[in-house]
Chain A
Amino acid sequence: MQVEFNADTDQLTASLLGELDHHGAGEIRERIDSVILQQHCRHLVLDLSRLGFMDSSGIGLIMGRYRLMLSLGGQLTVTGMTPRMEKMLRMAGLEKLPIWEKQEKENAHETNQ
């Protein structure tokens, strides 16, 4: 389990690599949170596109980062999810939260028209 950071002027991208389970989640959480706090980050992007596996421990990680960014007056975006990951996020009731990547929102908009 690895995490790569990419800091832009207005956002911090954390790309997760490998398999995200309970075993790896604790350390990854600590690393992400310390970079968020160090860099006074207002917009966190969690990129899951290079994740080979994720279980509900990943949902816990996403929910926790969402709450942290909210408490900092910032926002979270999640990108690169597989359909299986999206299904799990929906189970958690997170489909109502503004964390889905923009592209998907635009698509949803198109189908509404």
Chain B
Amino acid sequence: MKPINEMKLTFLSRSANESFARAAVAAFAAQLDPAVDELADLRTAISEAVTNAIVHAYPHELGNIFLTVQLYENGCITVRVRDRGQGIEDVSKAMEPLYTTGGEDRSGLGFSVMQSFMDKVRVRSIPGKGTTVTMEKYISLRVKGRS
């Protein structure tokens, strides 16, 4: 199926861009008229994926983060967050709840939050090359004109 709309953004791995990414995706997704809760789920999942790229992919340097969002006629929204950072050795271990390499301030819940708030999460990673997180969420289509 072809998307009815698509947007791509590239931004630096500065932490100020965490809120920028949330706002940008939310503004674009508004075309599917998501409910308040669906939008909050989406914003939280984007925040997790983008924060991971900022914190873990480029721990000592600034790098580019590539964000792609596609909207589909059936209400599906796909979000891809890609980095060219250090990658993940063992993806299934990294996705276990509470697993973190991040120390005191991190809870190791990012992937669990993405999985719980989105319908599908796929992670592909090559150590030394980078990581791509692809997420899908179905927005319930509401009858036009109803609030």
Contact = CB atoms under 8 A, between A and B. Distances in A.
Contacts of B82: none
A50 B93 CA distance: 35
Contacts of A25: 105
B105 A29 contact: yes
Contacts of A60: 104-107
A91 B106 CA distance: 14
Contact of B47 (A55, A59, A63): A55
Interface in B1-34: 15-16, 18-19, 22
B112 interface: yes
A84 B40 contact: yes
Contacts of B97: 91
B140 interface: no
Main secondary structure of the interface of B (DSSP, over half): helix
Contact of B54 (A22, A55, A61): A22
B105 A26 contact: yes
Q: How large is the interface on B (under 10, 10 to 19, 20 to 34, 35 or more residues)?
A: 20 to 34
A74 interface: no
B43 interface: yes
Contacts of B48: 55-56
Contacts, number: 66
A25 to B, nearest CB: 7
A99 B52 CA distance: 27
Main secondary structure of the interface of A (DSSP, over half): helix
Contacts of B40: 53, 84
Contacts of B47: 21, 53, 55
A57 interface: yes
Given A23-B18, A64-B104, A64-B105, A55 B55 contact: no
A87 B117 CA distance: 10
Contacts of B74: none
9 contacts: A22-B18, A23-B16, A23-B19, A25-B105, A56-B48, A56-B109, A63-B107, A91-B97, A91-B109
Given A57-B51, A84-B41, 19 more contacts: A21-B18, A21-B47, A23-B15, A23-B18, A53-B43, A53-B44, A55-B44, A55-B47, A55-B48, A55-B51, A56-B51, A56-B110, A61-B105, A64-B104, A84-B44, A87-B116, A91-B109, A92-B98, A92-B109
